Homo-oligomer: A and B are copies of this chain.
Amino acid sequence: MKVLIIMGSESDKPVMQESQNHLQFFGIENEMVVASAHRNPDKVREIVVNAQSQGYGVIIAAAGMAAALPGVVSAYTSLPVLGVPLDGGLPGGIDALYSIVQMPAGLPVGTLAVGKAGARNAAVLAARILALGNKQIAERVEAFKQNGYRI
């Protein structure tokens, strides 16, 4: 199973590249796509609705400010969705953090720390999830741990 990294803006790429780098360490196929819940809601819908049938197992969604993307992604899929709040609006990305973590009951987004630490951890958590059904990834997760949690 692959991991889909979806982010709201081209400008989020330098941070979310951290997710991709980590996924590659874990040997997890992945794709990065830019689609905004506000600017391209139908593109988001189409990508996410079809994600599972296209072989994705986990979706990492990242956005800043009024960060609706992760929650909207969770609405369009039954896959586990991991959210990464990004800086850019209120200091520390607190607006994005609250917009992502405070999902109402029923529609979960597993939220990571704001910014680069969160981008890395989203990939690690995706790896832990996929490792449940994939021995090779499980071995890479152990290698990551042996490596001091660094790639």
**Chain A: residues with CB nearer than 8 A to chain B?**
1, 8-9, 36-39, 41, 45, 57, 64-68, 71-72, 74-76, 78-82, 89-92, 94-95, 97-114, 116-117, 120-122, 124-125, 128-133, 138, 141-142, 144-145, 148-150
Contact of A124 (CB < 8 Å), options: B108, B112, B133: B108
Q: Given A108-B128, A110-B110, A71–B66 Cβ distance below 8 Å?
A: yes
Cα distance, A94 to B62, chains bound together (Å)? 21
B residues in contact with A100, CB < 8 Å: 66
What is the chain B residue whose CB lies nearest that of A67?
B99
Q: Given A110-B111, A111-B111, A102–B37 Cβ distance below 8 Å?
A: no
Q: Do B91 and A103 have beta carbons less than 8 Å apart?
A: no
B residues in contact with A144, CB < 8 Å: 106
